[in-house]
Amino acid sequence: MKLCFFLDSLQNPLPQRIYLPFKPIQTSLQFSTEAKTLNPNLTTTSVSYSKLLSQCTASKSVGVGREIHAHMIRFGCSEDPNLRNHLINLYAKCRFFRHARKLVDESPEPDLVSWSALISGYAQNGLGKEALSAFREMHSLGVKCNEFTFPSVLKACSITKDLGLGTQVHGVALLTGFESDEFVGNTLVVMYAKCGEFGDSRRLFDAIPERNVVSWNALFSCYVQSDFHGEAMDLFQEMVLSGVGPNEYSLSSIINACTGFGDGSRGRKIHGYMIKLGYESDSFSANALVDMYAKVKSLEDAVTVFEKIEQPDIVSWNAVIAGCVLHEYHGRALKFFRQMKGSGIRPNMFTLSSALKACAGLGFKKLGRQLHSFLIKMDKESDSFVNVGLIDMYCKCEMMSNARVLFDMMPKKDMIAWNAVISGHSQNGEDIEAVSLFSEMYKEGVEFNQTTLSTVLKATASLQAIDVCEQVHALSVKTGFESDMYVINSLLDTYGKCGKVEDAARIFKECPIEDVVAFTSMITAYSQYEQGEEALKLYLQMLERENKPDSFVCSSLLNACANLSAYEQGKQIHVHILKFGFMSDAFAGNSLVNMYAKCGSIEDADRAFAEVPERGIVSWSAMIGGLAQHGHGREALNFFTQMLKDGVPPNHITLVSVLCACNHAGLVTEAKKYFESMRELFGVVPRQEHYACLIDLLGRAGKINEAMELVNTMPFQANASVWGALLGAARIHKNVELGERAAEMLLVLEPEKSGTHVLLANIYASAGMWDNVAKMRKLMKDDQVKKEPGMSWIEVKDQVHTFIVGDRNHSRSDEIYAKLDELFDLMYKAGYVPMVEMDLHDVEQSEKQRLLRYHSEKLAVAFALIATPRGAPIRVKKNLRVCVDCHTALKFISKIVSREIIVRDVNRFHHFRDGSCSCGDYW
């Protein structure tokens, strides 16, 4: 039957061929021995040559085959059609296609066997186009296919994904009756599946009358290769239930499906099934098992299977080495790498790629360079895949100059290469270079993906370059990446770190899926920019949506509670940390210490500190700073001494806390000793904040001249912190001259802050200079400088209550004011005298007393007395420094009501107990 209905699609002009001439060569001893074995009388017949050539084809011994060919030419046997077909088959299977093609072309009338051998050789070696070209030529000569030719042609269609031609060949097979052949049927199933037509593939499979294990293998191996892992596993179960027993190929394929699906449980069952059927020693199955266990987070099982392989091949080694790298056991990966080389197996590209990742993970620069040299010797250093691995290794080993040289030398830089080097700059803190390189990448028209945008946004967040963030955001919208969760989370993080909390909140509300990372970014943004209440509300929303928090979320929430002084809510977060098993996490542990310290419970902070598994500089600094703020100067210094004994070197933050501890406790000698030894003992050069601490301490202690001398000898211009410390000292010691000079400098450095005017007015008031007080008030009015209102917060039953001076907006105001009146009656009887000179309002004495009585912290304490259990500590946070009158009043109240009152003002904590304060009236 002629195939005229699709001959046009089969006929293409054939390229001119150039052949290498056959050179008759003398037969070798090996051939002579084999010939003698086959024919003791050395009478070389056609049958003898056929057997010898079949053996050469099976073992792919093309050298011996060529000697036999030469022997045949010498003795005039090469024209035998049967022997010629054997030779064509040998050369085609061994990839000597010019020789095979020459034999076909020299045949007077090449038959179906000749063409089939040639087409089969092309197809088996992955040369689909060449196979189909030979098939077209065969048809142009009128040679028909048989059950051996059809599978090779269909395989070539699978390789080239030529569904149109495959469908036509199917039609021919149907018309000629070969569709029902087992091999043809199986190959049709594979062809349709490889071309993406799984529906047609399954229909053909179901139509096979007697499906054997080969048929099943053909179908579900296609599903696995196309990443339809669930469907492949369902097919395997269907095969077993149908009574067809799996073989080693079935099992290795289905293990690969379990790997792709991430189903370790089912993988274990298949492993057991494999042992039961006796296929555990099969190399394909064993390698698949190693790969499966490594990728489903069972590395030890992967190693166990690997070690049972008698002679592991390169695939086995690659699987176990890659598994170690995947689980970040980089040292173990390199150990296997050395063992592999010792076993005599030469590493390939996949091995070296894993080894480079291990070097990157460990920062092994020397070994990374050696691998680079090895790749150069292999002549593979120009390979794009290898170059990206090398760039990544150099980036992670902090050798960016080497990474850039490699990158710049690449002739064609694809997106992966750009991503690797941009990420490298970002990881090494070279954020400007990362952003600049992305700009260059965009100008060159190279495609980018969500990884590129996320990396650039991370660099942008570090630079706090909001304009760049907005441009990248616009670009993500333009290119359709604005709905990708990686990009969304990066935008949330960047807007949050750039202080654009409202923009971050808008993006968060528009999120298609709010995952843990998105909640973390938003909660962190709220926490960092003092919107703690919003952070806590969002956390409740996160729990309602059944998103399990991670340690970073809990750390951010604890920081929010710390900023709010929300002690009770902080304790609840502590319970969640225990519930979710984050106590071993350093971030969570350090945040607990910080939260309890800033919420006024240094005892709880101490207990949390004791539970931190590995106490680093952050843990110690948090505890030392907490003790300092609570007025426990000596204890803070003892902790510092213990930290040094534990071998933890201090940083500049720790030393600020140490100086603050000395400051709050009035330890002048100790502070000077630590300050003067910072550089020599700890290698820390004093900064502005260290000078400010010491100057503040000297000023408070009355050593004004020494403080001014330190200001004049500083290696840099004094900043607002230094002049603020001097202004505070002037207030304490009523030094008008110093106060005026400090205020003059502060008004230049921070003209918008009202605190300078207020403190200077206080200094004038304390010196009885009321005309100057009036001038300061007029200056504030003329300059439209508004005094920051005093505010106090107190947490009761998970709710934060806010008060300002004279506040009557609270729902229980009548009770609060009644309680205050009751307290003042008792205080007056105990000897309390209002310090009206501290009030700067130009009003009568009685009015000044009324204004002092209703300061925000007094209102907060009165509310706590009517809203909290008897005897419970009262915790108040204030946005300004506690005034002298409130400080005196709270000492009286603490004794009258027999309660501890803890006030956290802008400078420190005050613990009022039984009529005294932890600060020793030194604040």
pLDDT digits (tens, 9 = 90+) for 310-341: 889 999 999 999 999 999 999 999 999 999 98
The model's pLDDT over 342-355, given as tens digits with 9 standing for 90+, comes to 998 988 888 989 99
pLDDT in the model for residue 381? 55
Contacts 24+ apart (CB under 8 A), 469-478: 469/494, 469/495, 469/498, 469/500, 475/442
pLDDT in the model for residue 750? 86
The model's pLDDT over 209-225, given as tens digits with 9 standing for 90+, comes to 778 888 888 888 888 88
SS3 content of the chain, % helix, strand, coil (to 5): 70, 5, 30
Residue 848 clears pLDDT 70, i.e. is over it:
no
Grade residue 837 by pLDDT with cuts at 50, 70 and 90.
Answer: low
Grade residue 845 by pLDDT with cuts at 50, 70 and 90.
Answer: low
pLDDT in the model for residue 46? 67
pLDDT in the model for residue 846? 63
Six-digit token pair at 370?
A: 């050696």
Rounded Cα distance between 803 and 510, Å, is 35
The model's pLDDT over 225-264, given as tens digits with 9 standing for 90+, comes to 888 888 888 888 888 888 888 888 888 888 888 888 888 8
Which residues have C-beta within 8 Å of that of residue 849, sequence separation ≥ 6?
Answer: 834, 836
Comparing CA positions, the residue from 104, 80, 78 lying closest to residue 17 is 104
Six-digit token pair at 768?
A: 């009885």
Grade residue 186 by pLDDT with cuts at 50, 70 and 90.
Answer: confident
418 and 452 in contact (C-beta within 8 Å)? yes
pLDDT in the model for residue 40? 38
Six-digit token pair at 263?
A: 């189903």
3-state secondary structure of 8: helix
DSSP assignment of 576-633 equals: HHHHTT-TT-HHHHHHHHHHHHHTT-HHHHHHHHHH-SS--HHHHHHHHHHHHHTT-H
Q: Average the pLDDT over 766-785 and give the result.
A: 77
Grade residue 25 by pLDDT with cuts at 50, 70 and 90.
Answer: very low
Residue 277: how many other CB atoms lie within 10 Å: 16
Q: CB-based burial of residue 587 (10 Å sphere; 0-12 exposed, 13-18 middle, 19+ buried)?
A: middle
pLDDT in the model for residue 842? 52
pLDDT in the model for residue 772? 84
Average pLDDT, the chain: 86
Residue 438 clears pLDDT 60, i.e. is over it:
yes
Grade residue 8 by pLDDT with cuts at 50, 70 and 90.
Answer: very low
The model's pLDDT over 287-313, given as tens digits with 9 standing for 90+, comes to 999 999 999 888 999 999 999 998 899
Residue 547 clears pLDDT 90, i.e. is over it:
no
Rounded to 5 degrees, φ, ψ at 673 are -65, -45
- Residue whose tokens read 């899926």: 513
The model's pLDDT over 360-415, given as tens digits with 9 standing for 90+, comes to 999 999 999 998 988 887 776 567 778 888 999 999 999 999 999 999 988 889 99
The model's pLDDT over 602-652, given as tens digits with 9 standing for 90+, comes to 999 999 999 988 899 999 999 999 999 898 889 999 999 999 999 999 999
Residue 785 clears pLDDT 80, i.e. is over it:
no
Rounded percentage of the chain residues whose pLDDT exceeds 90: 44
The conformation of residue 810, written as its DSSP 8-state character, comes to S
The model's pLDDT over 556-596, given as tens digits with 9 standing for 90+, comes to 999 999 988 889 899 999 999 999 889 888 889 999 999 99
Name the least confident of 26-30, 190-194, 663-667. Answer: 26-30
pLDDT in the model for residue 776? 81
* Most confident region among 496-505, 724-733, 830-839 by mean pLDDT: 496-505
Residue 805 clears pLDDT 60, i.e. is over it:
yes
Taking the whole predicted model, whether its pTM rises above 0.75 is answered as: no
